[in-house]
């Protein structure tokens, strides 16, 4: 698939000034300026994040109300229910809050709604469970901000809510005792991009001194907060960066028993990095809710012994194996459906449907299809008497608005700019497919149908040395708004030793002037002919470490390449 290359620029004067004060490679200073870091002090905060720089939790709107209500519940021995969503953000948030409150209060339980029986967020079944079992306070985490009707219902039957959420509030807010959400219009909390677990962590931070608990009783949850930040793809800036940086440190030095168990099952023996949380820990936690019941993810995180944590981790690991198999089989079937229908390849959107597909993985499959056919994509399956599914967008296209425009064919829908879900009658699938195509084709900018590679800076092969790479590593943890830097090197030539490996990949051997370096390009075998032309090429890549038989070297991890102009 052809890609557009977008090379970022930075203010040269600011880059030069920063380089003069930091005395590091000018290219790294250029990247820092692009990311809003212009002074020595800002760079110091970036490279050496300090927990003392976290904002005062009392700046968050309703924090005093929330703390007062929790104190009242503890003092009066009320039953408290910790309620959270079934994904990584929700389950880690519940684990943190439950373990913290357990230190001071025993009349406590947690609740995770079942993905298929109850759906996303606060559920009526959850509220009814609370009523039947005598709970008078529910603390909802990573959900609740859009549950005005259900929280009104809870209030009517004598149950109070404290909502800890990070999703964008609607105009009508739920009638909770307290709403902790920095995205509220009148909330003066300085950092707006916390995940749900991060908001819960701020409540824990405010509560701890009220119970004469110290920082160690708060910071013991940092590795779970870091896992939520990594999995929920929130910006890796400000407080998120501080929390993720120190959370990773804790995960490597003294991890939560659940994280430790998942590391063992993932055969991870090296140091844990943010991408391990994203690609090894998070999928196993999410698989619980996708394939079965996410309650066991919380049970793993709150386990008191390693053996108990490993017991639940093995269940999650098994769920993830099932998830991978379902994901792979459905993706294969969906690609075959598209291949059978030539007309679909010319469309601006993709919508595929098979009644037997597993509902838990259709969102993942939609993302996989975008890797092959770069356009807004919907994958539907049968759920009871209806069709239901998930949609994913290409960057820059408002998927929610497009689905909203097709609402006459839908029973229900929800989501945001990049992802959405919907339910419809089975006999409406074809009409919905045609209307969605009509909406997308008439509103999408054709440029959005070509993937873009954002390139941070141009370097030479001679720049790829250990001191340069070591400073790049200090830019971790990487994530949105602080992605691992992408470089371009121009007019390099093949040494003659490049080759195809395992039929799909290219092992590169490249030369520029007197410097030779190797690299790996996954799934690039179809472009090998460009190298065989023996003409200069431009390469887009990331730098990483290759550890072979105990011998470490730097290599290029290719993203794209083309003939030099």
116: pLDDT confidence band, cut at 50, 70 and 90? confident
Q: Return the bridge partners of 553, or none.
A: 546
For the range 91-94, what are the long-range contacts, defined as Cβ-Cβ under 8 Å and sequence gap of 24 or more?
Answer: 91/285, 91/288, 91/289, 91/294, 91/297, 91/298, 91/301, 92/197, 92/224, 92/225, 92/227, 92/228, 92/285, 92/301, 93/141, 93/142, 93/164, 93/196, 93/197, 93/199, 93/200, 93/228, 94/141, 94/298
Within the chain, all domains assigned CATH 3.90.1640.30 are found at 57-251
Query: What span, in angstroms and rounded, lies between the C-alpha atoms of 358 and 381?
Result: 7
| Mean pLDDT, residues 81-107 taken together | 96
Condensed to tens digits (0 to 9), the pLDDT of residues 295-343 reads 999 999 999 999 999 999 999 999 999 999 999 999 999 999 999 988 8
DSSP class of residue 55 equals P
Q: In whole angstroms, what is the distance from residue 90 CA to residue 102 CA? A: 18
493 DSSP β-pair partners: 511
Task: Give the CATH class of 57-251.
Answer: alpha beta
Integer angstrom CA distances of residue 261 from 95, 113, 274, 282, 498: 16, 24, 17, 13, 40
What's the rounded Cα separation, in Å, for the pair 269 and 322? 24
The CATH number of 4-8+453-563 is 2.40.50.460
Q: What is the mean pLDDT of residues 147-156?
A: 96
Mean pLDDT (the chain) is 94
Encode pLDDT of 407-431 as tens digits.
Answer: 999 998 887 888 889 999 999 999 9
Residues of the chain with pLDDT > 90: what percent? 86
CATH topology of domain 341-449: Diaminopimelate Epimerase; Chain A, domain 1 (3.10.310)
**Residue 354: strand, helix, or coil:** coil
- The segment(s) of the chain belonging to CATH 3.10.310.30 are 341-449
Residues 6+ apart with CB under 8 A from 82: 94, 97, 98, 101, 108, 109, 110, 111, 138, 139, 141
The residue to which tokens 């913290």 are assigned: 100
**Is the model's pLDDT at 269 over the cut of 80?**
no
Distance of CA 176 to the CA centre of its chain: 28
- Crossing angle for the helix pair 12-22 and 26-34, to the nearest 10 degrees: 120
Q: Which residue has the higher pLDDT, 469 or 146?
A: 469
Q: What is the pTM of this model?
A: 0.92
**Segment 159-216, tens digit of pLDDT:** 999 999 999 898 999 999 999 999 999 999 999 999 999 999 999 999 999 999 999 9
Q: What is the pLDDT of residues 437-468, one digit of tens each?
A: 999 999 999 999 999 999 999 999 999 999 99
The pLDDT tens digits of the residues spanning 498-532 come to 999 998 999 999 999 999 999 999 999 999 998 88
Query: 212-248: per-residue pLDDT in tens?
Result: 999 999 999 999 999 999 998 899 999 999 999 999 9
Percent of the chain with pLDDT over 70: 100
User: What number of helices (H) and strands (E) belong to the chain?
Assistant: 22, 19
The dihedrals phi and psi of 441, each to the nearest 5 degrees, come to -65, -30
| Domain boundaries for CATH 2.40.50.460 within the chain | 4-8+453-563
Report the length, in residues, of the chain: 565
């Amino acid at each position: 698939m052809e890609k557009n290359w977008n090379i970022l620029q930075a203010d040269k004067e600011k880059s030069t000034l920063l380089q003069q004060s930091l005395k590091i490679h000018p290219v790294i200073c250029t990247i820092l300026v692009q990311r809003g870091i212009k002074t020595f002090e800002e760079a110091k905060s970036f490279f050496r994040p300090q927990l003392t720089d976290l904002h005062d939790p009392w700046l968050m709107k309703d924090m005093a109300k929330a703390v007062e209500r929790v104190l009242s519940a503890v003092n009066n021995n009320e039953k408290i229910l910790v309620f959270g969503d079934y994904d990584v953000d929700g389950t880690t948030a519940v684990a943190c809050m439950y373990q913290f409150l357990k230190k001071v209060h025993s009349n406590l339980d947690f609740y995770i709604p079942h993905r298929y029986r109850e759906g996303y967020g606060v559920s009526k079944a959850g509220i009814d469970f609370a009523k039947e079992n005598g709970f008078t306070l529910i603390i909802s985490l990573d959900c609740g901000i859009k549950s005005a009707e259900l929280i009104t219902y809870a209030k009517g039957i004598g149950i109070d809510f404290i909502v800890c959420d990070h999703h964008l509030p609607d105009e009508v807010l739920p009638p909770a005792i307290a709403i902790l959400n920095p995205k509220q219009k009148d909330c003066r909390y300085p950092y707006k991009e916390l995940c749900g677990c991060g908001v819960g962590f701020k409540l824990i931070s405010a509560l701890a001194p009220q119970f004469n608990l110290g920082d160690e009783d708060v910071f013991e949850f940092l590795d779970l907060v870091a896992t939520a930040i990594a999995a929920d793809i929130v910006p890796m800036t400000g407080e998120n960066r501080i929390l993720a940086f120190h959370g990773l440190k804790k995960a490597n030095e003294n991890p939560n028993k659940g994280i430790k168990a998942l590391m063992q099952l993932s055969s991870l023996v090296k140091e844990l990095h943010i991408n391990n949380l994203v690609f090894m820990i998070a999928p196993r936690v999410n698989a619980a809710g996708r394939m079965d019941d996410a309650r066991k993810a919380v049970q793993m995180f709150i386990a008191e012994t390693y053996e108990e944590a490993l017991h639940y981790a093995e269940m999650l690991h098994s769920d993830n194996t099932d998830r991978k198999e379902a994901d792979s089989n459905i993706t294969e079937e969906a690609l075959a459906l598209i291949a059978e229908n030539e007309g679909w390849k010319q469309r601006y959107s993709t919508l595929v449907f098979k009644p037997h597909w597993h509902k838990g993985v259709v969102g993942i499959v939609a993302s996989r299809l975008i890797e092959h056919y770069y356009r807004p994509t919907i994958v539907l399956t049968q759920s009871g008497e209806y069709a239901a599914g998930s949609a994913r967008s290409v960057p820059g296209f408002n998927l929610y608005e497009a689905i909203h425009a097709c609402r006459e064919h839908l029973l229900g829908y929800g989501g945001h700019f990049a992802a959405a879900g919907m339910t419809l009658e089975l006999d409406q699938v074809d009409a919905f497919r045609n209307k969605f195509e009509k909406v997308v084709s008439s509103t999408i900018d054709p440029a959005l149908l070509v993937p873009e590679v954002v390139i941070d800076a141009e370097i030479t092969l001679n720049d790829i040395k250990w001191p340069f790479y070591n400073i790049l590593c200090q830019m971790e943890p990487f994530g949105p708004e602080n992605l691992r830097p992408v470089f371009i090197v121009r007019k390099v030539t093949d040494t003659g030793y490049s080759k195809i490996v395992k039929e799909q990949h290219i092992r590169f051997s490249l030369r520029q002037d007197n410097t030779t370096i190797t690299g790996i390009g996954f799934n690039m075998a179809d472009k090998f002919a460009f190298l065989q032309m023996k003409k200069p090429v431009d390469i887009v890549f990331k730098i990483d470490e290759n550890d072979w038989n105990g011998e470490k070297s730097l290599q290029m991890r290719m993203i794209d390449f083309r003939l030099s102009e």
